[in-house]
Amino acid sequence: MRARSSEDTLRELKSRGARRLKQVRFRANRSTIWSLTQDATVLNLHVAYRRAPASILDAFATIVRGRGWRTNAVRDASDRVRDWPGLGPVMDAVRKSHSQRRREALRRCSDDNEITHCCATPEQRRYLRALYRYLNRTRFDGLLPEVPVRLSNRMSASLGHVIPAVDRRRGRYVAELALNVDLMLEGNGAERMDTLVHEMAHIADWLFDGEYGHGTTWKKWARHAGCRAESKYDRPVVRRRRRTQRVTRVPPLPVALRRRAA
């Protein structure tokens, strides 16, 4: 089956009764297969669905008409689009491509060279490495390996993320730990520490339990490390006035770490 364009897919869905829909966007996501945004007028689809059969378009029309609400009809339609056999191979290819690009980028980096898409200064990178090692020693009993830690000025709602990966020779590993650069701003001390420990709990969960998410094993690691075992951070965070604003501030290290360095 030939690949449909966004416009073709929109027309097909409208002809199936999804008249509220204004736009269809295809995304090469690693995990999210569909989402409804902008008051259910925009449908974001994984690129695999460009070649979806008519039965899958019928299911998406049901989801859009139901505005994503968890009715029996929407649940059944969601199951159908999730279990479509054409989805898995494309998602695997997307994940493999992303992991390969990330490995190549990280291979070109040394500790003091700028990681691709990293907006941190050399001083900030040294700070992050020192803080990661300190928290690994004091919160995780030194169990975690060294992982690339970077700052991102592209995050908006998220404060951080971890990218889990699998290699045939290495097994499970972590491609990167990224933090929102806003966390370096003055006034975000507790938020910075909480977010880093939260993400390090994801690292432990992935490497030792083979899980990624906010399930039971992640909560176990979060409690062990002394952070809140919750998926969302609901405390206020100081933000930049403009996302283009550069942040070069290097926060002070924990007192115990400064004493150790002295």
Which pLDDT score, from 0 to 100, does residue 38 have? 84
Using CA atoms, how far apart are residues 126 and 253, in angstroms rounded to an integer?
11
Which pLDDT score, from 0 to 100, does residue 116 have? 47
Q: Is the pLDDT of residue 67 over 90?
A: no
For the domain spanning 6-89, the CATH number is 3.30.2010
Give pLDDT tens digits for 203-241. 999 999 998 889 999 999 999 999 888 877 777 899 998
Least confident of 50-64, 141-155, 208-222, 225-239: 225-239
Which pLDDT score, from 0 to 100, does residue 118 have? 81
Same fold, 6-89 and 109-261: yes
Question: Coil, strand, or helix at residue 4?
Answer: coil
The domain segmentation of the chain, as residue ranges, is 6-89, 109-261
Using CA atoms, how far apart are residues 183 and 189, in angstroms rounded to an integer?
8
Alpha-helical segments (H) within the chain: 6-15, 54-65, 72-82, 87-107, 122-139, 189-204, 216-225, 255-261
Band of residue 187 on the pLDDT scale cut at 50, 70, 90: very high
Nearest of 258, 119, 95 to residue 175 by alpha carbon: 95
Which CATH superfamily includes the segment(s) 109-261? Answer: Metalloproteases ("zincins"), catalytic domain (3.30.2010.10)
Nearest of 37, 82, 75 to residue 24 by alpha carbon: 37
Which pLDDT score, from 0 to 100, does residue 79 have? 93
Q: Is the pLDDT of residue 255 over 50?
A: yes
Give pLDDT tens digits for 98-117. 777 666 655 544 343 344 46
The answer to whether the pTM exceeds 0.75 is no
Alpha-carbon 2 to chain mean position: 31
- Output the average pLDDT for the chain: 87
Task: State both tokens at 226.
Answer: 């002394």
Task: State both tokens at 103.
Answer: 């490995």
**Is 144 in contact with 155 (CB distance < 8 Å)?**
no
Burial class (CB in 10 A: 0-12, 13-18, 19+), 81: buried
Task: State both tokens at 177.
Answer: 């730990």
Q: Report percent pLDDT > 90 for the chain.
A: 61
Band of residue 194 on the pLDDT scale cut at 50, 70, 90: very high
Using CA atoms, how far apart are residues 239 and 252, in angstroms rounded to an integer?
19
